[in-house]
Amino acid sequence: MLPNSLFKKPLNALEGSEWYNKVTSKPFVPNDLWIKCPSCKSMLLSSDLEENLQVCPKCRHHFRLNARQRIAITVDEDSFQEFDKDLLSKNLLDFPDYTKKLKNARLSSGENESVICGTARIGGHACALSVMDSSFMMGSMGSVTGEKITRMFEYATKNRLPIVIFTVSGGARMQEGIFSLMQMAKTSGAAKRHSDAGLLYITVLTDPTTGGVTASFAMEGGIILAEPKALVGFAGPRVIEQTIRQRLPQGFQRSEFLLEKGFVDAIVPRGELKETLARLIALHTKEEGQ
Amino acid sequence: MKAIERVAAARAIDRPTALDYIGRLFGDSFFELHGDRRFGDDRAIVSGIAELNGMPVTVIGIERGHNTKEKVFRNFGSAHPEGYRKALRLMKQAEKFHRPVLCLVDTSGAYCGIGAEERGEGQAIAENLFEMITLKTPILSILLGEGGSGGALGLAVADEVWMLENAIYSVISPEGCASILWKDSSKTAQAAECLKLTSQDLYKMGVIEKIIREPKHIEDKLVDSLRNIIYNKLHEKKALPVEQLLEERYQRFRRIGAAD
Ligand SMILES: [Zn+2]
């Protein structure tokens, strides 16, 4: 039997770059016509789900999106211009099987790395945009992930643009060892320079955002938004349970928990995200009395 | 020496800790300052002001303790958010007086627990990385034993990072790596090798600037020479124009893992 992943790459390649720029076009249609909501167990028609931005119409469960789907529903039509698309990770430590894993990740996700960067317009406002993708090695932070995000911050600083980053990450990429860790410092440095230049950085935390990404640029936004019920934390829940040898309370490390503890500015449902981003960016570009 | 032997040496129970070095390097001149002014005082982090060959310095160390009682008191050298916030408070204070900062890092990692998450462990570390990169005073970080991931990096965004010969610095413990990647704890030694976490590996990869040779026990000779090289480095960095200091610090991290 052929691995399922082989079929996904041509899907992206064939459909080219046009489909993801249109909100109304199909981002990713699962083969099954009916999809079971993991939260309320309702059977949902995949076309209904798609119409509803991959949010369950019954219980508001937010299904995970890949980066292209996210870009499609966030930016103005045809406004996304991708940067550094062809930057490829190398096996810097000569780590066993990493080269093969990278290749498989490229095939199965149809992407070259765990983040897609570029410029776009949101509600007419120009901005820099970085969108992480959990389908590429769980959105782990490789050197190229850090490099692309750093370049985006530097570009935005130079061109005086606001930046929006959608985070989703399992954390560090072990196969890149210390180089993975150093990306936390590198991206943070670039984020600080962007901030010191008086520019706006909005983070949107999506499910799940953990580890080194949480402990660096995800928590450095001037404004931090989150999708409902996204898991956001430094340590993953399993690691914590193993450390403290007890079960974690319901809702622990979810967006609502972070809001209550003061680490998130607002929880924004997917359907309102684009408008919210546009509104916030507008507030930072407006001259008094304009 | 194999990587896994370095790991064992870095964690050895009789290995001198941050407080041992603070005592030997600064003697009575060390004055401890407590608390983050927000939540509490994290005892895994020992910090204060001291004199180094007559130069005032801010010292921040992660202390893991020697015996069980001390280890429990120090939370085994795993800091909570308030520890990182205490460190940042002292760094800001150092910046105000253009006083160099010395960080002594020795931790298996930031603490993973309910309180740590509730109070924003990730946010606390992120804020340190964000602020340290532009802190307008020299920062030197020395890894004494274990440099465990983000918990170590939270005190290691510095102008230079040095390691004791048998210290290790890694994104994940070899045990964690073996169990997550290979679901096999018997492969810990192999993981240690693959992660390239020894001082020699990291020096070769350009991640650290100096390896400090270490004898079996802290000897006066070692302490004297360590005191002098720390003093010389901080003195040299202190003399730099601030813009140059910060540009070099930015580029130090900017170039790591840069793609062509
Ligand atoms: Zn549902």
The number of distinct structural domains making up chain A is 2
* Helix/strand/coil (H/E/C) assignment for every residue in A15-73: HCCCHHHCCCCCCCCCCCCEEECCCCCCEEEHHHHHHCCCECCCCCCECCCCHHHHHHH
Structure tokens at B1: 């020496």
Residues B122, A219: C-beta atoms closer than 8 Å: yes
Residues A252, B170: C-beta atoms closer than 8 Å: no
**Could you report the per-residue pLDDT of A10-20, keeping only the tens digit for each?**
333 333 333 33
- Which chain A residues contact residue B172 at CB under 8 A? 172, 174
Residue whose pair of structure tokens reads 């993708």 in the numeric block: A133
Here the ipTM equals 0.97
Question: A1 lies in a domain?
Answer: no
A165 CA from centroid of ligand 1 (Å): 27
Q: Which ranges of chain B have pLDDT less than 70?
A: 259-260
Q: Same domain for A35 and A137?
A: no
**Could you report the per-residue pLDDT of A210-268, keeping only the tens digit for each?**
999 999 999 999 999 999 999 999 999 988 998 889 999 999 999 999 999 999 999 99
Residue B72, min C-alpha distance to chain A (Å): 14
Model confidence band, residue A285 (pLDDT cutoffs 50, 70, 90): confident
Q: What is the DSSP string of B95-112?
A: HHTT--EEEEEEES-S--
Question: B89 lies in a domain?
Answer: yes
Output b/e per residue, A75-87; b: 16+ Cβ within 10 A: bbeebbeebbeeb
Mark which of A25, A41, A63 sits at the end of a domain.
Answer: A63
Report angle CA A81, A83, A88 to the nearest 5 degrees: 140
Q: What is the CATH number of the domain that holds A182?
A: 3.90.226.10
Q: Same domain for A24 and A142?
A: no
**Residue B108 touches chain A, beta carbons under 8 Å:** no
**Could you report the per-residue pLDDT of A63-120, keeping only the tens digit for each?**
999 999 999 999 999 999 999 999 999 999 999 999 999 999 999 999 999 999 999 9
Question: Nearest Cβ partner of B259 from A144, A188, A243?
Answer: A144
Predicted pLDDT of residue B87: 98
Q: Same domain for A115 and A226?
A: yes
Residues B117, A253: C-beta atoms closer than 8 Å: yes
Predicted pLDDT of residue A12: 34
The number of distinct structural domains making up chain B is 1
Q: Is the pLDDT of residue A23 over 50?
A: no
Model confidence band, residue A290 (pLDDT cutoffs 50, 70, 90): low
Q: Is the pLDDT of residue A27 over 60?
A: no
With a CB cutoff of 8 Å and minimum separation 6, the contacts of B226 are B21, B25, B212
Q: What is the DSSP string of B172-213?
A: S-HHHHHHHHSS-GGGHHHHHHHHT-BHHHHHHTTS-SEEE-
Q: Is the pLDDT of residue A288 over 80?
A: no
- CA A219 from chain centre, in angstroms, equals 14
Q: Is A127 helix (H, G, I), strand (E, B) or coil?
A: strand
Q: What is the CATH number of the domain that holds B113?
A: 3.90.226.10
Q: What is the rounded average pLDDT for all residues in chain A?
A: 89
Alpha helix stretches (DSSP H) within A142-265: 143-158, 177-196, 211-214, 237-244, 255-261
- Which chain B residues contact residue A152 at CB under 8 A? none
Q: Are B159 and B245 in contact (CB under 8 A)?
A: yes
Q: Which helix (H) or strand (E) is A14 found in, with range?
A: helix A5-15
Question: B240 lies in a domain?
Answer: yes
> What is d(CA B159, CA A247) in angstroms, rounded to the nearest whole number?
42
> What is d(CA B218, CA A181) in angstroms, rounded to the nearest whole number?
30
Question: B111 lies in a domain?
Answer: yes
Q: Which helix (H) or strand (E) is B220 found in, with range?
A: helix B220-238
Task: List, as ranges, residues 229-268 from A with C-beta within 8 Å of B.
Answer: 232-235, 239-240, 243-244, 248-249, 252-253, 261-263
Q: Same domain for A205 and A141?
A: yes
